[in-house]
Amino acid sequence: MTIDKQGLVVITGITGYLGSQTCLTFLQNGYRVRGTVRSVASSEAKIRAAFGDDLFANLELVSANLDDKASIVSACEGATYVIHTASPFHFGGDCVGPAVAGTTAVMEACTKHGVKMCVVTSSCAAVLAPAKEDAPVPPAMYDESSWSNPDRPEGLVDYMKSKTLAEKTAWDYQKANPGFDLATICPTFIMGPSPLGDGTSIKWLKTAMDGSKAKIPRGRSGFVDVRDVALAHLRAIEIPEAANKRFILYNDKGKMPDVYGWLAKFNERGAKVPTILGEGEDIGGDAVDNARSKEVLKIQYTPLETTFTDHAEQLLSRGLI
């Protein structure tokens, strides 16, 4: 597939944490972008301020909602590429309905408007939760062939089910309607500075830095930088070998004492990061294979310390800590 930088890129959900960084990445790389927002009137000023006038000049805003199929299909008219980042991310209420409906609308829009390629933001939530008996046995690792099982006997929280079913919806649709290429991006827990958004990642970091915790929690968790994830969406349309593949975006398992140690440096600037180590061990975190993202998308992962310190700097600069 020849890259058409004069073509239009439609990105859904550009006021979100990942969506805004993805939009910024495409604009910085010379693409013309149409971004969907819930309300243009209430979003335009803050988006312009976040991106700057020069980049904003190459951005068109349109109103669209995941539960309004006609608005999604209309937003994709004239697109060469579609980047679908919008999806509910919460742990209360229905995530499955809007996630599947929005993805279905995007897929149908790609067919209707002759889109060349669609990149869908999925999640490691769609990878790391098979039934217990189907989980890889070490030294085997989770990779792009791994799928979460929404019907597993252990149950699956609504958010994880929504990401699994939405991604399966995309692949099932494209298999039945193979008129455009598809790639899916499956990140683990995303952190790092982003132009907009106030979601789970920012709340997680605020809780670590605002005095909410008396001691450093123990454990390990997989993290990836939001800038690396945004770049993966860009590379997915620019690298021909990325077409019709899943990609896990995963940097490393961060030990909580290490993460809190990096953040504690900001205590002299008003943060209240705990420095007393909690009880327990730093176990946990799944064994995840990120080779495909490095080999095909050429992602060179940002060091975790940089991810967390850059993110902390942003929160301090915004007065959120």
By annotation, the residues acting in catalysis are 163
d(CA 240, CA 18): 23
**What is the three-class DSSP state of 239?**
coil
User: What is the identity of the amino acid at 210?
Assistant: D
8: three-class secondary structure by DSSP: strand
> CA 148, CA 246: separation in Å to the nearest integer?
14
Cα(72)–Cα(86) distance, rounded to whole angstroms? 11
Task: Provide CB contacts within 8 A for 184, sequence distance 6+.
Answer: 119, 120, 121, 122, 167, 170, 171, 245, 246, 247
The structure tokens 């929160």 sit at 315
**Rounded CA gap, 89 and 77, in Å?**
26
Partners of 256 in the β-ladder = none
H-type helices in 158-272, by residue range?
158-176, 200-209, 226-238, 256-264
Report the distance separating Cα 117 and Cα 134, nearest Å: 32
Q: How far is CA 299 from CA 1, 133, 137, 292, in A?
A: 20, 32, 27, 9
The pairing of beta strand 8-12 with beta strand 79-84: parallel
Contact 185, 122 (CB under 8 A): yes
CA distance 56 to 52: 6
Distance between CA atoms of 94 and 90, rounded to whole angstroms? 9
